Amino acid sequence: MSSTPVPRIRPRRLRETPSLRRLVSETRLHPAELVLPIFVREGVTAPVPIGSMPGVVQHSIGSLPQAISDAAAAGVGGVMLFGVPEVRDAQGTGATDPDGILNAATKVAAEASAGRLVVQTDLCLDEFTDHGHCGVLDERGHVDNDATLERYTAMALAQAGAGSELLGLSGMMDGQVAAVREALDGAGHHDTAILAYSAKYASAFYGPFRDAVESTLEGDRRSYQLDPGNRREGLREAMIDIDEGADVVMVKPAGSYLDVLADVAAASDVPVWAYQVSGEYAMIEAAAAHGWIDRKRAVIESVRGIRRAGADAVLTYWAVELAEWINNGDTE
């Protein structure tokens, strides 16, 4: 008879079969908790592939309705629209033009959605300015916080008027939530919700996104986006935005800031989302293309990790594909 003690407590029992693992899973994925970012480019008649983001395209106005329908059919909770204009200027005037690419795309998306998912819009000037910054510049070439707020409130009214249900304030200007909320309420848009990109870090992982929106940025955004070394500051920013009236707060990027995400989720009394950004997407796609990782498992694990850290919803470029796997029961 062996003298080796037989363990009485065996956690492995609950990992023995797929059905047991499914039954006791602590973190589940659901299509409604996924949001698909969509790029819409002015002046094209067909989708344009984005080289640094395999499988992702810049949609044309004509191809956008099918993309919305595909996302809705998969059960995705929402789409976040980004505009890519043909012409840019120092003030980002295309952002407030009712016929500008983002506002025109919003009208198309709202009609195509027909209430099946939430149409959301990025509220930031970087795609529309010729200098590529998220705000207007002063005479020194620095981003002018308060002058930028005036542009943001005009953008908010244009986007709400075009049919956006949720405005994604991603510019990281001080006071942006309060300013936009006041403007929306003053114009009668009491039901238009605000998603505050509260803890948005000055990250290296945005590179492919800047390809996607054809960014003209020179320099960096460290004077307004958060320092990657700061954890407490991320929570502080989220609490300020909640106090100013944000309906949802965001941590971005997701994968490198799970500690900040967990902090915000533990303290917030509004929904907390996270953005799995372009660089996170591109790294997995590149590694998978080389056969270095199992693509499907890596996608599922990465999004599940973000949900486990506390995100109530995840913006991810895999939203539709992942939703289809979930619907087919194929996420084991």
- 6 or 37: which carries more pLDDT confidence? 37
Q: Report CA-CA distances (Å) from 167 to 44, 122, 155, 197, 249.
A: 25, 6, 10, 10, 11
Token readout for 293 is: 């990782």
Residue 2 binned pLDDT confidence (cut-offs 50, 70, 90): low
Residue 245 binned pLDDT confidence (cut-offs 50, 70, 90): very high
SS3 252: strand
Contact, 144 vs 188, CB < 8 A?
A: no
Residue 250 pairs with which residues in a beta bridge? 273
What pLDDT is attached to residue 219? 77
* Neighbour tally for 49: CB within 10 Å: 10
Contact, 171 vs 132, CB < 8 A?
A: no
Q: What is the pTM of this model?
A: 0.95
What pLDDT is attached to residue 332? 76
Q: What is the CATH number of the domain that holds 219?
A: 3.20.20.70
Closest alpha carbon to 127 in 209, 53, 204, 200 = 209
pLDDT tens for each residue of 167-210: 999 999 999 999 999 999 999 999 999 999 999 999 999 988 88
Q: Is 252 a catalytic residue?
A: yes
Give domain status of residue 9, yes or no: no
Domain tally for the chain? Answer: 1
pLDDT tens for each residue of 257-291: 999 999 999 999 999 999 999 999 999 999 999 99
pLDDT tens for each residue of 282-317: 999 999 999 999 999 999 999 999 999 999 999 999
Give domain status of residue 170, yes or no: yes
Give domain status of residue 34, yes or no: yes
Mean pLDDT value across residues 319-332: 94
Give domain status of residue 282, yes or no: yes
Give domain status of residue 167, yes or no: yes
pLDDT tens for each residue of 102-144: 999 999 999 999 999 999 999 999 999 999 899 999 999 999 9
Percent of the chain with pLDDT over 90: 91
Measured distance CA(103)–CA(213) in Å, rounded: 16
What pLDDT is attached to residue 63? 98
Whether the pLDDT of residue 1 is over 60: the answer is no
Which of 59, 131, 252, 307 is an active site residue? 252
Give domain status of residue 3, yes or no: no
pLDDT tens for each residue of 53-98: 999 999 999 999 999 999 999 999 999 999 999 999 999 999 999 9
Domain span including residue 173: 28-327
Q: Is 107 a catalytic residue?
A: no
Measured distance CA(304)–CA(158) in Å, rounded: 35
pLDDT tens for each residue of 220-239: 888 999 999 999 999 999 99
Which of 88, 131, 181, 200 is an active site residue? 200
Give domain status of residue 4, yes or no: no
Token readout for 98 is: 């009712």
Angle at 237 between CA 132 and CA 266, to 5 degrees: 130
Contact, 115 vs 73, CB < 8 A?
A: no
Give domain status of residue 6, yes or no: no
What pLDDT is attached to residue 218? 78
Residues whose CB falls within 8 Å of the CB of residue 28, separated by 6 or more in sequence, listed in order:
none
